[in-house]
Amino acid sequence: MVAMQPTSNQQYIFRLFIIKNKSARKERKVTLSSLETGYDPELQAIPQLVPVSESTVRGDGCFLQLNITAFVKQYNRLPKKLVVTYTGPTIDFWPNDSRYSYFAPRIEIAVSVSRQATNRTQAELLAILRKKDYKDVIIYPPTIEWNVPLFQRPQQLMKFFANQNYLCIYVTANHQHDDYPLGFTRVNDNLYIAYTSMDTFSVIPDPIVILSWAMNISYLQALDNYFLVYDYIDDISIFHLYDQRMEAAHRYLLRNADLVVATAERLFKKAKKLRPDTILCPNGVDFSLFSCADSQSVIPSELNDILATGKKIVGYYGALAEWVDYNLIRFLVEKRPDLQIVLIGIDYDGSLYRSGVTQLENVAFLGHKLYSQLPNYLACFDVAIIPFRINEITLGTNPIKMYEYMCAGKPVVTTNIPECVKAPGVLVGKNKKHFVSMIDKALEIQNDTNYVQKLISFARENTWDSRVKVISRLIEKKRRSHR
């Protein structure tokens, strides 16, 4: 352990996350009766560190934080070993885990942060901050790459927050779909893609941070006095690497984020059990992009042969994954050979290939298309479908494509997805035969002006711009109350 000379503004904080054992059913107080350095041959005595902490273990757990600055100032170094003695209910300690270093036992050096750049990317960031008077700074840590095949809620929120004069920084890890240079790449005056470490953002006082995946909680360690928005976008059990620690981190975020947002009614009800002030803020639509899906569209060349057949087109775009009901698509094809089924997207998990539906005569799989091109394909649909299976994933799904279909004035036929059932004008097939009959009904009313206007009006009321304004007002309100 190297010697150190603490400056006057440095504080050394020992953080320990304690988890309520399953046998401890009620909220209980845990008192740290002593915190010792353990045997240390370089010291004549075994000093007991004075601050004794008491904390209530609520829900899944909480942090004990102890100031050990006095020890460091006396001996000019950190203790080599810490021995914790506590009284209270049966508890467990969160062990070291690289995926969740935010919860790992550690000593943090808390210091009044200098707002001076210490490296090139920080200097670049400070230059961006000096360009104009932004409303605030929003950071989205590395989660979903900007150029993934599906342009999703995180990208949409950052794009439309930027339109509201927030400086939005979307951090990428350059894993697969992105290939940005080190530093900041400008999308527009208020939106940047950043390929840099999270430590770069320590020069920003009081940023807003949006997290949509519990595993990313460890990125918070690099930031100072942030306002945390937890965007609860999916049932977390569907995520890769889901386990009990992810569940605990998710519940911790629900309890401790400054603002919790849920995208679907099912998620909203779950979140409110732990966080009563959770807000429901579903997905939305880029109205300016999809409202001109007919009037300003260029017909994609690969649809020319299909259109030449004169068949009505029943189309779907999005992820083609195990939650898509391929048996339903096969049933539709068999019952209505006079229709042309068009599928656009990526074979997310190989389920499309395994289903064999692309081998059917009147099914065309066109692969992935750029998000900006989707309105051109949507303009050629006669009916737009969301043929999802009903399971834990789809019960809590608020499909973005539903709003985009409606914005383009296309009849929408879905399975019995709760978030679609409540949307006016959406036709819901409750079983396979009923789904086919709803396709027929959609074809009958696709040119009904009143019906089409109902769809477009609903889309106009549910834009990404309106969603961002709701979240923005709540952030400002909560920030004022904290000051």
- Give per-residue pLDDT as tens, 18-32: 665 555 455 455 555
pLDDT of residue 176: 87
User: Which of the four pLDDT bands, split at 50, 70 and 90, describes residue 390?
Assistant: very high
Distance CA 28, CA 58 (A): 7
- State yes or no: pLDDT of 195 exceeds 70: yes
Q: Give the mean pLDDT of 250-275.
A: 95
**Residues of 210-235 as b/e, b for ≥16 C-beta within 10 angstroms?**
bbbbbbbbbbbeebbebbbbbbbbbb
Angle between the N-to-C axes of helices 400-407 and 449-460, in degrees from 0 to 180, rounded to the nearest 10: 130
pLDDT top residue among 432 and 84: 432
Kindly state whether residue 2 falls inside one of the protein's structural domains.
Answer: no
Query: What pLDDT, on the 0 to 100 scale, is given for residue 267?
Result: 97
Q: Give the mean model confidence (pLDDT) for residues 231-255.
A: 86
Q: Are residues 457 and 471 in the same domain?
A: no
Q: 409: left (phi > 0), else alpha (psi -120 to 50), else beta?
A: left
- Sequence-distant (≥ 6) Cβ neighbours of residue 317 within 8 angstroms: 343, 344, 345, 369, 374, 377, 378, 401
Checking if the pLDDT of 48 tops 90, the result is no
Same domain membership, residue 148 and residue 48: no
Q: What is the mean pLDDT of the chain?
A: 85
- Rounded Cα gap, residues 353 and 116, in angstroms: 54
- The strand pair at 312-317 and 279-280 is best described as unpaired
For the stretch 149-166, pLDDT in tens is 889 999 999 999 999 999
- Summarised one tens digit per residue, pLDDT across range 222-231 is 888 899 999 9
In this structure, is residue 133 part of a structural domain? Answer: yes
Same domain, 202 and 239: yes
Q: Are 220 and 139 in contact (CB under 8 A)?
A: no
| Strand-pair category, 183-188 with 167-171 | unpaired
Contact call for residues 318 and 345 (beta carbons, < 8 A)? yes
The type of residue at 201 is F
Question: How does pLDDT run across 266-321, given as a tens digit for each residue?
Answer: 999 999 999 999 999 999 999 999 998 776 678 999 999 999 999 999 999 999 99
Identify the pLDDT of residue 472.
97
Q: Is 1 a member of any domain?
A: no
Domain that holds residue 71: 10-111
Does 344 share its domain with 409? yes
- Residue 319 CA to residue 345 CA, distance in Å, equals 6
- CA-derived radius of gyration, the chain: 27
pLDDT at 261 over 70: yes
CA 452 to CA 425: how far, in whole Å? 9
pLDDT at 95 (0 to 100): 64
More confident residue, 249 or 342: 342
Confirm whether 386 is domain-assigned: yes
* Residue 101 and residue 26 in one domain: yes
- 3-class secondary structure, 433: helix
Position 424: which residue type?
Answer: P
* Residue 94 reports pLDDT greater than 90: no
d(CA 25, CA 341) in angstroms, rounded, equals 54
Residues 280 and 291 in one domain: no
Residue 162: its pLDDT value, please?
A: 97
CA–CA gap between residue 27 and residue 443 (Å, rounded)? 58
Share of the chain above pLDDT 70, in %: 81
Q: Specify the pTM.
A: 0.85
Nearest by Cα to 101 from 239, 221, 225, 200: 221
Q: What CATH number should be reported for the domain holding residue 382?
A: 3.40.50.2000
Q: Could you tell me which residue, 105 or 149, shows the higher pLDDT? A: 149
Q: Evaluate whether residue 412 is within a structural domain.
A: yes
Token reading at 333? 């094809």
Asked if 125 and 166 sit in the same domain, the reply is yes
| Rounded CA separation 204/191 (Å) | 16
The answer to whether residue 383 scores a pLDDT higher than 50 is yes
